Amino acid sequence: MALRLLERGRIPREVLRIVEPSPTLLCQWRSLSARSGMQHLRSPTVHNLGSSACTLTEFARERAEGLEEPVFLEPYDRPSLQVFNAHCDRLIRRAGLAALHHQAEVQGVVAGLDEVRVALSTGEVLHASNVVLAIGAGGAPHWPSWAPLGAPGLHHATGPGSFAISEGAESIAVIGGGLTACQLALKLQREKHQVTLISRHALRVHQFDTDPGWLGPKYMQAFSMEQSWSARREAITRSRNRGSIPPDVHARLEESGLRPLHAEVVAMRRVASRWRLSLVSGAHLTVDRVVLATGLSPRRPGGAMVDRLVQEARLPTAPCGFPIVDPALRWHPRIRVSGALAELELGPSARNIAGAQRAADRVLGSLRGEGPARRHPQSRTRGEGRPVTSGHRA
């Protein structure tokens, strides 16, 4: 969003701030992707942070020599994580984004007629003309009810912070049957651990997590015309290939000899510094360590911060609790959303890189006066100023 606003929206740098609690930009992406053991992205090269679809391909051509992994994986030219990250680094460096990074967590957003006040974990309050909530899927991992929070030797693959697994071979249960679980299991096996991959469903093999038809009019036309928010939610749920893996990861699993154990864990208990897992079949399994790869919570992202904003600014929500926004992704005349928060408008790809690209395009389009002219229900006649990604007054 920030790159697009600077490069194509011609927003002056002085009025833009990126509020992010991590010490560096893209920190969460780097940490989760590295931890998962992924070597290539699942999405094609055209889904990248550059100003046009081909910038990553051009960058990769320049850089192909000296990279450890093959730069693209067929089919669909999926970039290696290494080249994708190197490309992001270059874009961030060239745009000088690090200088716009304000390291803090947003704890409160108060929407007013003339400005939005953004309260930070540092105690500061930023006064912004416009805010984009680009908080992704919210980062809240889904913890099964039987897994005790904060116990030793128990981790979540998509949880905050990092976890280190000792180099000495351990027995590790990876719980989950999706891409994160399979890639992590393969990585731990490469690191010589004794891995049991426990999946409650048979492996589901799909190239993408969402049919590419959702990126264009094929499916989006009907979705955008759908007036019922519940029907939109159902379409999103139906269309996501949740817990699925692409064929190349499936092939690597087959080659590795790592056969998933089809079972459902119903309880776990600490026994002499190890974990005893109880399966629904009545069987038990004892391991040194457990890694949950059970995905993210389906709740609306943003926790208490967004809950308060909804209540205080009386923002419209669908029965599923997610924002009802206009085509320019405005939830409030001064507050726009992207990522999961925009999915009732952008459809099932909202959570992916393609969704981030489309969110940025919608915001840019609205700045240029392009696109559908449906006015936001909460719009007032006073000036709306320029959009700012959680930042100082424009």
Ligand X SMILES: Cc1cc2nc3c(=O)[nH]c(=O)nc-3n(C[C@H](O)[C@H](O)[C@H](O)COP(=O)(O)OP(=O)(O)OC[C@H]3O[C@@H](n4cnc5c(N)ncnc54)[C@H](O)[C@@H]3O)c2cc1C
Site residues (CB under 6 A) for ligand X? 19-22, 28-29, 32-33, 36, 38, 41-43, 47, 105-106, 134-137, 139, 158, 180, 305, 338-339, 351-354, 356
DSSP notation for 269-321: EEETTEEEEEETTS-EEEESEEEE---B--SPTTHHHHHHHHHHHT--B-TTS
Nearer to ligand X by C-beta: 285 or 356?
Answer: 356
Q: How far is CA 337 from CA 10, 37, 285, 312, in A?
A: 20, 30, 44, 17
Q: Which is nearer to ligand X, 277 or 315 (CB)?
A: 315
The DSSP line for 169-183 is --EEEEE-SSHHHHH
Q: Minimum distance from CB of 143 to ligand X (Å)?
A: 16
CB of 346 to ligand X, least distance (A): 11
Closest contact distance (angstroms) between CB of 84 and ligand X is: 8
Looking at the Cβ atoms of 249 and 285, the one nearer to ligand X is 249
Please report how close the Cβ of residue 263 comes to ligand X at its closest, in angstroms. 24
Q: Which is nearer to ligand X, 351 or 376 (CB)?
A: 351
And the tokens for 247? 């064929």
Report the residue number, 29 or 143, with the smaller CB distance to ligand X: 29
- In the bound complex, what is the minimum distance in angstroms from residue 195's beta carbon to ligand X? 18
Residue nearest to ligand X (CB): 136
Q: Is 80 or 158 the residue whose CB approaches ligand X more closely? A: 158
Q: Name the minimum Å distance from CB 79 to ligand X.
A: 9
Distances from the Cα of 234 to the Cαs of 214, 251, 300, in angstroms?
14, 31, 15
- Looking at this protein, which amino acid is placed at residue 209? D
d(CA 362, CA 366) in angstroms, rounded, equals: 6
Least CB distance to ligand X at residue 359 (A): 8
How far is Cα 9 from Cα 26, in angstroms, rounded to an integer? Answer: 21
At 214, give phi and psi (nearest 5°). -80, -5
- Residues 297 and 280: their CA atoms lie apart, in Å, by 23
**Which CB sits closer to ligand X, 36 or 294?**
36
Identity of residue 39: Q
